[in-house]
Structure 1
Amino acid sequence: MSCKLAITSLSASVVIGSVIMHTGRPSMRHYSPNGRSEPPRWASALCALGLFVYQSLDAIDGKQARRTNSSTPLGELFDHGCDSISTVFVALSACISVQLGFYPRWMFFQCFCAMTLFYCAHWQTYVSGTLRFGKIDVTEAQCTIIAIHLISAVFGPGIWMTKVSLSCFRFRHGTGR
Structure 2
Amino acid sequence: MKYLLFFLGLGLLFSACQQDNTSSTSTPDGVDLKTALRGTWQTFQINVAVNTADGKDTFRTESLTQEVWEQSYGMEPPIYYFQADQKFRLVHRSVKGEIIDQRRGIWNTFGDTLVLIEPENTVQYLVRIGEGRATFRNFRDWDGDGAEDDEYQGLQRQISISTDEGE
User: Which structure carries more strand by proportion?
Assistant: 2
User: Which structure carries more helix by proportion?
Assistant: 1
TM-score by length of 2: 0.23
- Structure with max Cα Rg: 1
Which structure would you say has the larger RCO, counting Cα contacts within 8 Å and 6 or more residues apart? 1
TM-score by length of 1: 0.22
